[in-house]
Structure 1
Amino acid sequence: MSDPYEARKTRAASWFRTLRDRIVASFEALEDNHGTGTPGRFEVTPTTRADGGGGLMSVMRGGRVFEKVGVNVSEVHGTLGERAQKAMAARGVPGMDRDPRFWASGISLVAHMVNPHCPAVHMNTRMFWTPHAWWFGGGADLNPALEYAEDTAHFHAEMQRACDAHDPAYYPRFKAWADEYFFVPHRGRARGVGGIFYDDLNTGGTTSDSWEADFAFTQAVGSAFLPAFVPLTERRVATPFTEADREAQLIHRGLYAEYNLVYDRGTKFGLETGHDANAVLMSLPPIAKWT
């Protein structure tokens, strides 16, 4: 029996790849336009998953603006293991014990900056499918070591603009979700200044209109990323910084690494389902410190 969602899967995966291409081009332009020395460039490596699918890992290291940035896209499929099936069942997905097939595609981005005054940032959007359910998820959050209130306000305003165009209830709901999700319990604090986070987005069951609306919103979130982040980088990239500023940045990166290794759902899912470990862990900073 053919999968009625096959064309939709193709559209979603194509969109994530297109967004990846736009972001990579924008980040390389930032490298060209700022700093001295040789501008950084992305190294692109195909990734594979043993049970099916793969993607592209695009990583820039040692740039003039970006100390390390990864922009990954993937399209994977296969059969969920028993542990993952139980996790799906706990999220309300029925029938995984009878038919544990899945398909997933998305884009994941993490940027760690050279200048401590430039905020680190994370963004991802994704579609997940099983024979029993489908949904979208994603979001973006800002992670400055040295916070500027106007930068935080700008980032949130762009996220709110993307949300409000689809549902005025989305921004307060997804902002609160980000505040909860990106909290580091063992440190008793957030890992950054927030943004938006959403998961399990399926607003109308299996209806075509629901899928189109939820896909359109996910595209809006992805499209909001560059306007939300690039102006902050351009504003701060030439700001002089001290050794104390660098120290604060490295310690904040330690907090970021702790969160991603201990709590992040995407990290856990990628490692548990056999995706390329280097691609899953590309979010980790190149250098970090702990006090």
Structure 2
Amino acid sequence: MTDMFDDRKALASAWFRDLRDQIVAAFEELENTQTDDRPAGRFEVTETKRKSDDGADAGGGLMSVMRGGRVFEKVGVNVSTVYGELGERAQAAMAARKGLPGMKEDPRFWASGISLVAHMQNPHAPAVHMNTRMFWTPHAWWFGGGSDLNPCIEYTEDTAAFHHVLKQYCDHHDAEYYPKYKAWADEYFFIPHRNRARGIGGVFYDDHNTDDWQADFAFTQDVGRAFLPAFVPITEKRRNQPWTDADKDAQLIHRGLYAEYNLVYDRGTKFGLETGHDANAVLMSLPPLAKWV
């Protein structure tokens, strides 16, 4: 199974890197076309490296972060490909959640993906999250990911437009994907201790394996491709909208909710920290400023 998947791993890893390049270029173009006294924002790119417990190379990636831009107050676009052996806690969690009892005997894993979070200057422009990934073990493989919008001031037309694009791309593959994965996003991006959703949802999926790797990879690629046409038009529409101090206050409070969710519930945050990935890259999603009442 390992040899059969070597080419597939390379294809997936290369795709996530290509998607990263497309998004970084599109976001820097948004900065270029924004009229503002500030310099156009640019991404700072840092190579990340992961080491196993015995000090061996265990993969890494690129952390790309823009701060203080014209449009983006903070945005990170990370890609990584990591591998090695899962620790005991991760093995137990994988066995329990994925139904993979063999992880204890053979705890090898390989994972690659892209993760993006954008926090905007204008409170009327929504924050956004997107990630897609492939995970492999000797016992099973799967894809996961999704995209969700997080406005502090919701506009129903923006919500409808965002979901419309996601549905179009999902429907190319299976008419059941969008309603199924929209419902999963509504459930997953919920903050129990606040009894409210983190945002207006989108799509979210995990453990996606139909036993057709090519089809599942194609679907995951389209989830990634949907991101820019779903998000950029909303940003272009809202980035120059006048805002007040009260609007900014609402944005900072909403960012507090976002931070709570990512630190308490987000699976990716937990997995990244438990498997020894670069902490700065894992916590890239946190907003630059937030407020609690």
* TM-score of the two chains, using structure 1 as the length reference: 0.97
Residue of structure 2 equivalent to 1:278: 280
**Aligned-pair RMSD on alpha carbons?**
0.8
SS in structure 2 at match of 1:69? strand
Q: CA deviation at 1:94?
A: 3.5
Conserved 8 A contact 1:73-1:108: yes
Deviations, residues 221-263 of structure 1 (Å, cap 9, x unaligned)? 0000000000000000110000000000000000000000000
Runs of 4+ in 1 over 6 A off after TM superposition: none
1:162-201 aligned within 5 A: 162-201=169-208
Conserved 8 A contact 1:111-1:121: yes
Q: 1:154 aligns with which of 148, 161, 164?
A: 161
Equivalent AA in structure 1 for residue 19 of structure 2 = L
- Which piece of structure 1 moves more, 89-98 or 177-186? 89-98
Equivalent AA in structure 2 for residue 178 of structure 1 = A
Conserved 8 A contact 1:94-1:132: no
Overall identity of the aligned pairs, in %? 74
Q: CA deviation at 1:2?
A: 5.6
Unaligned runs of 5+ in 2: 53-57
Conserved 8 A contact 2:2-2:138: no
Q: 1:108 aligns with which of 115, 124, 135?
A: 115
Unaligned runs of 5+ in 1: 205-209
Conserved 8 A contact 1:42-1:59: yes
Q: CA deviation at 1:162?
A: 1.1
SS in structure 2 at match of 1:4? helix
- Distance, in Å, in 2 between the alignment partners of 1:99 and 1:118 is 46
Deviations, residues 25-66 of structure 1 (Å, cap 9, x unaligned)? 000000000131210000000001112000000000000000
Conserved 8 A contact 2:20-2:78: yes
- Distance, in Å, in 2 between the alignment partners of 1:138 and 1:230 is 19
Number of matched residues? 286
Aligned pair in 2 of structure 1 residues 115, 2: CA closer, same or farther (>3 Å)? closer
| 1:73 to 2:79 alignment | yes
Aligned pair in 2 of structure 1 residues 183, 33: CA closer, same or farther (>3 Å)? same
1:1-291 aligned within 5 A: 3-36=3-36, 37-51=38-52, 52-90=58-96, 91-204=98-211, 210-291=212-293
SS in structure 2 at match of 1:260? helix
SS in structure 1 at match of 2:103? coil
- Distance, in Å, in 2 between the alignment partners of 1:94 and 1:259 is 29
- Distance, in Å, in 1 between the alignment partners of 2:43 and 2:110 is 27
Equivalent AA in structure 2 for residue 99 of structure 1 = D
Conserved 8 A contact 1:35-1:65: no
- Distance, in Å, in 2 between the alignment partners of 1:2 and 1:96 is 15
- Distance, in Å, in 1 between the alignment partners of 2:285 and 2:202 is 17
